Structure 1
Amino acid sequence: MAQYVRNNAWNNGGTFDNKDLYWYARGVEAMMARPIADSASWWFYAAIHGEYANPNTPWYPRPAAFPGWSFIQGTPQVPTTPLPDSATMDLYWNQCQHGSWYFFPWHRGYLMSLETQLRADIVAAGGPDTWALPYWNYFGGQGGSQSQMPPAFAAETLPEGTPNALFVTMRYGPDGDGNIYVPCPPKYPTGPINAKAMKNDLFTGSDAVTRPPGFGGPQTTFAHNGSPHGNFESNPHDLVHGYVGGQPGPSDAIYGIMGDPGTAALDPIFYLHHCNIDRMWEAWNDQGNSNPTVSSWTNGPSRQFAMPTASGKPWNYTPGDVSTLANLDYSYESLGIEDAPQAPKTQPALTLAKRLETLGASPEASNASLEAAASTAPRKTELLGASPTALKLSKTPIEITVALDASTRKAAEVSLLKASVSALPDKAYLRLENVSGIYDATILGISVSTPESGGSYLVGHVALFGLRRATVSDGQHGGEGLSFILDITPFIDELHLNNALNADAVKVAIVPDKPLPDGTEVTIGRVSIYREAF
């Protein structure tokens, strides 16, 4: 039996009547009282994820400005001097794994390390030695009521009248007014955030039901600024960061600290968000899905993950060390996810069967043959078309027409006509490639249509979380920017069913959630469309 249980932050109404939240505030307060060079400080732990405290890093803004930690407004007041020595910063700081198949395990170890330090401070303050980090299940509650941030984080003081360390000034929310919520079902049925990636059946790669790069992300080495992000990392993870952080107004070149990997871990709500991400990874495994078993994943990258300990020596861990809660000392109050009830192990087969039925294929296939077909890897990926030039995005939406290669489009059309469990239909993906800029708070809505059609199809939303870091060359990465993969298979299927797949082009509309402030334009290197053939 696990020694510690991580409970729902919304227990007892999400107020300080929930003692997990009260003692969390007390623990954060103790860690915030230490200087940034102290490895047991809140600031040091935030910098492990990513930081803008050290002006010598490639991504520190020049000239100095926000998101530099010295320019963070209000509460908390973030110290930036004296910094640790260079060797300590090189060992511990700027480690978070994004756009990588190490995303889940790195963050699990990070949470465990912070939780250990918080528990020690909580016990020293007279709190329970069984305390564990709570999680924010924004998909939960009756009618989606828990999509709202727990009220304890909006209170400026604790019950005894002292300052509340969970309160953050630069936390603006989706509407920029300080009302913090996650726009997701069931409260927001058409909201941009969802848990659809929980229906993926492949951790890395793609098959007949899982789009690339897979549930857990692409195979990489150590990847602090990796791209593209895994399906679950893209949605809900990235979008929660973007919407919780938000931006205060269209003319402000600042944004909420949750919206950037280099400031996000300064916000105490970050860790409740990541506890939920960790919980949902465990739920995905509990559905019968598997993590990678190859040594390049289980043993981790050549640069080891390192967390500070009370002994002064680093705790080095691998993905294999933390791949299952069965081998760790904590569990969760519940693995339930209201927006995505625990899927049966046969979910991939059901997903494939539904698509084949929609396309008019014979429904006679057995469950066994459907399950086998669902895990079929694509035999080739082929370019259907791409934009001829880079695009600039600023205050207004842009639309680009992508011409389709006639022979490749015809091959896709034939595959849909012949769709069956033994001749799987093509899938189609839209890619935004080499997206660069400096304004991480940007969220883009992507729609597609054909020049002949009257309406458009909303493909989804992407958050540019990590944009600044991915844009800057840091010695390990060439500053290629971020890339995104969106599934447009339902759109292609709809064209086929309407006898409209003979279109010569697809129109792609890219709409910023809010106008970009002056000087924060985003460049999109290329918009491309691919087919996966099976």
Structure 2
Amino acid sequence: MPQYTRNNAWNNGGTFDNPDVLWYAKGVGQMMRRALNDPTSWWFYAAIHGEYVNPATAWYPSPAAFPAWGYITSPPSVPTSPLPSPAMQELYWNQCQHGSWYFLPWHRGYLMALETQLRQDIVAQGGPETWALPYWNYFGGEAGSQFQMPPAFAAQTLPDGSPNPLYLAMRYGPDGDANIYVPTAAGEAAHPNDPKLPPVANEVTEQPALSETQFSKADPLYGFGGPDTGFSHDGGHFGRLESNPHNKVHVYVGGTPSNTALYGLMADPGTAALDPIFYLHHCNIDRLWAVWNASGNANPTAPSWLDGPAQQFAMPDPNGQPWYYTPGQMSDLGALDYHYQELLSQPAVEPALATRLVLLGAAAAAAKVASEPAAPVAPRQPELLGANRGALRIQTGGTQTLVKMDPSVRHKTEVSLARAAETAQPDSAFLKLENVRGTFDATVLQVYVQAATGAAGGDKALLADTVALFGLRRASAADGQHGGEGLTLVLDITHILDQLHLAGGLTADALQVDIVPNRPLPDGGVVEVGRVSVYRQAF
């Protein structure tokens, strides 16, 4: 039996009656008492993930303003000095891996390092030697009732009346009112008719990430864990688990209070790890990786993943010495002496292809697929179906563009869908928001697709998906790791392709794409899309 068990933060009602949460608060408080340049301090650990405290970095705001750490509203009171030596910053700070197949293993090591430091501080205060980080399973509870942030994090004081280190001023939530919840299906049902939330069909969910069977894929979808990359601090292409729920939870929990340039700390990689709820969110992401593995899915075996990138991953140990680790060392949770309270394999689901074939009128082919699942068919190289002209600036009320389709490529897709009964594997389709750049991470974009106005099936806008712009500012920095190329967001629009086909909408020359932010952008808050493109993928 593993020595350490990470338990649900909602045990005992998610209050300080949960000893895991109470000891977490005491450990965080002890780490917060140390200086910024102390490798065992809360602030140093937050900067390992990302920081806006060193003005010499490419992503530090110019002119100086929020989200620079000196402009954060307390509590907590975030220090900006003394800075550690340049060598210490180079070794430890700004390491977080995003948009990469290293996303999951890097964060697992990060959690373990922080947990080790917290445990030492907790034991020194009389706490349990087997203490482990709790997790916030926003999908958990009866009928999904744990979508709300555990109440201990909203309390301003501990049971003894002292200030609560888990309480944060700049944590606004999806409605900007400091009511912190995640819009899962249950979360949305508890907030009916909320104009700030997308339709229930695209709520924050662990699906389709857990239904993905490959850890890493090439363009256009990047698998469960993300694309094959090198060291990727400001990555722009997300795996399914990172896209949803990871990115969406960050942005919804952080939120923004009003039409201002301020937003919650969780909404930006350079401030997120200052918020104690960050680590409970990432414990749940790590738990979902463990669930995915327990369901029979394999991690990469390529040496480039097992050994990690050329720039090694390093964390300080409680003595301030570097601990180096590789993704391969993080691949087996049990071997690391850890377990989760809730760690069950996912039940088998009806093959998505069978459901799709029924919709397309190919009942016989669907029955065959359902009863005799064939080996997965490798998709062919994606083919550009169409793209819009020029970059777009997202307006508060939404922005519209036309994606003109190539007639010959469109015809191939029409034939594929019409012959679904014979081919049993009709085309898939993906929409790309390419090179999304800007300054305001606390944004969720709702993307709608329909046949161009006046065409058959063109009177109904269909929601493709919602995408969160977590990491936008850093990915847009011209002098950053990726030269300011921004984020590239991929949406699976196969379900829209099918509905347009059934309504006759694929005969249109173009698709209309509407991009609508979930909240008004503030003055000076910029979000631009370099190109909107649609790809066909045949099998």
**Is 2:326 the partner of 1:315?**
no
For 1:82-161, what aligned pairs fall within 5 Å after superposition?
82-161=82-161
The corresponding residue for 1:519 is 524
Helix, strand or coil at the partner of 1:449: strand
- Superposed CA deviations along residues 103-161 of structure 1, whole A, max 9, x for unmatched, are 10000000000000000000001111111000000011123221000000000000000
Task: Give the equivalent residue in structure 1 for 2:81.
Answer: 81
How far 1:369 sits from its partner (Å)?
5.2
Describe the superposition over 1:342-382 as per-residue Cα deviations: whole angstroms up to 9, x where unpaired.
232xx4x722222222222323536685240xx22211211
Instruction: Give the secondary structure class of the aligned counterpart of 2:329.
Output: helix
Tell whether the 8 Å contact from 1:384 to 1:408 is kept in structure 2 after alignment.
yes
C-alpha deviation, 1:498, in angstroms: 2.5
Equivalent runs, 1:290-305 vs 2, <5 Å: 290-305=298-313
* 2:498 counterpart of 1:493: yes
Match of 2:227 in 1: 218
Q: Distance in 1 between matches of 2:475 and 2:244?
A: 19
Deviation of residue 395 (structure 1)?
Answer: 2.1
CA contact (8 A) 1:370 1:421 kept: no
Q: 1:363 to 1:241 in 2, by over 3 A?
A: closer
Measure the CA separation in 1 of the matches of 2:3 and 2:154: 30
Q: Output the aligned Cα RMSD.
A: 1.6
Q: Map 1:155-170 to 2 at 5 A.
A: 155-170=155-170
Q: Are 1:363 and 2:366 counterparts?
A: yes
**2:354 touches 2:367 (CA, 8 Å); kept in 1?**
no
- Per-residue CA shift, 1:293-316, capped at 9, x if unaligned? 111111111101000013432111
Select between 189-198 and 101-110 the one with higher mean Cα deviation. 189-198
Query: Quick one: distance in 2 between partners of 1:444 and 1:187?
Result: 19
CA distance in 1, matches of 2:242, 2:347: 19
Q: Which amino acid aligns with 2:442?
A: A
Distance 1:217 1:315 in 2: 25
**Long gaps (5+) in structure 1:** none
Q: Which moved more, 1:263-272 or 1:417-426?
A: 417-426
- Quote the Cα distance in structure 2 between the aligned partners of 1:366 and 1:390: 42
Question: For residues 253 and 363 of structure 1, do their structure 2 counterparts lie closer, same or farther at Cα, with a shift above 3 Å needed?
Answer: closer
Match of 2:244?
Answer: 235
Change in Cα spacing, 1:167 to 1:371, as seen in structure 2 (3 Å) is: farther
Offset of residue 419 of structure 1 = 2.0
SS in 1 for 2:403: strand
**Equivalent AA in structure 2 for residue 226 of structure 1:** G
Separation in 1, partners of 2:391, 2:179: 36
Match of 1:256 in 2: 264
1:381 matched residue in structure 2:
382
The residue type paired with residue 404 of structure 1 is M
The equivalences for 1:439-458 within 5 A come to 439-450=440-451, 451=453, 452=455, 453-458=458-463
Deviations 1:389-447 (A, max 9, x none): 10011322111111111000000111112225855211000000000011110111111
For 1:143 and 1:366, locate their aligned partners in 2 and report how far apart those are by CA, in whole Å.
32
Q: 2: CA distance between counterparts of 1:227 and 1:12? A: 39
Work out whether 1:195 is the aligned partner of 2:206. yes
Partner in structure 1 of residue 338 of structure 2: 330
More displaced 10-residue stretch of structure 1: 111-120 or 448-457: 448-457
Deviation beyond 4 Å, 4+ runs, structure 1: 366-369, 420-423
Structure 2 portions without partners, runs of 5+: 190-199
Residue pair 2:25, 2:165 contacting (<8 A) in 1 also: yes
Q: 1:398·1:510 contact (CA, 8 Å) conserved in 2?
A: yes
- 1:193 counterpart letter in structure 2: V
**TM-score, structure 2 normalization:** 0.94
1:411/1:45 CA distance change after superposition, 3 Å: same
Equivalent in the alignment of 2:192: none
User: In the aligned structure 1, how far is the partner of 2:80 from the partner of 2:411?
Assistant: 59
Residue deviations 1:212-268 (CA, integer Å, cap 9, x gap): 011111110000001111111011100000000000101x10100000000000000
Q: Secondary structure at the match of 1:17?
A: coil
Per the TM alignment, residue 205 of structure 1 is displaced from its structure 2 partner at its CA by: 1.1
- TM-aligned CA deviation for residue 45 of structure 1: 0.3
In 2, Cα distance between the equivalents of 1:370 and 1:206?
A: 24
Secondary structure in 2 matching 1:136: coil
For residues 374 and 58 of structure 2, the distance between their equivalents in structure 1, rounded to whole angstroms, comes to 47
Which of the numbers 196, 200, 204 marks the counterpart of 2:216? 204
Distance 1:401 1:153 in 2: 45
Deviation at 1:90, TM superposition (A): 0.4
Equivalent in the alignment of 2:346: 342
1:10 aligns with 2:10: yes
1:277 aligns with 2:285: yes
Q: CA-to-partner distance for each residue in 1:64-107, whole Å, 9 max, x for gaps?
A: 10000000002000011010000000000000000001110000
1:139/1:333 CA distance change after superposition, 3 Å: same
* CA-CA distance at 1:478 after TM superposition: 1.1
- Pick closer, same or farther for the CA change 1:19–1:421 going to 2, 3 Å: farther
- Cα gap change, 1:350/1:206 in structure 2, threshold over 3 Å: closer, same or farther? farther
2:188 alignment partner, SS class: coil
Percent of residue pairs identical: 59
Matched, 1:506 2:511: yes
User: Are 2:535 and 1:530 equivalent residues in the alignment?
Assistant: yes
Instruction: Give secondary structure in 2 for the equivalent of 1:494.
Output: helix
Tell me the matched-pair count: 521
Query: Given that residues 357 and 424 in structure 2 are in contact (C-alpha distance below 8 angstroms), is that contact kept between their aligned partners in structure 1?
Result: no
What's 2:486 paired with? 481
Post-superposition offset of 1:326: 2.1
Distance in 2 between the 1:67 and 1:283 partners? 35
1:80 match: secondary structure? coil
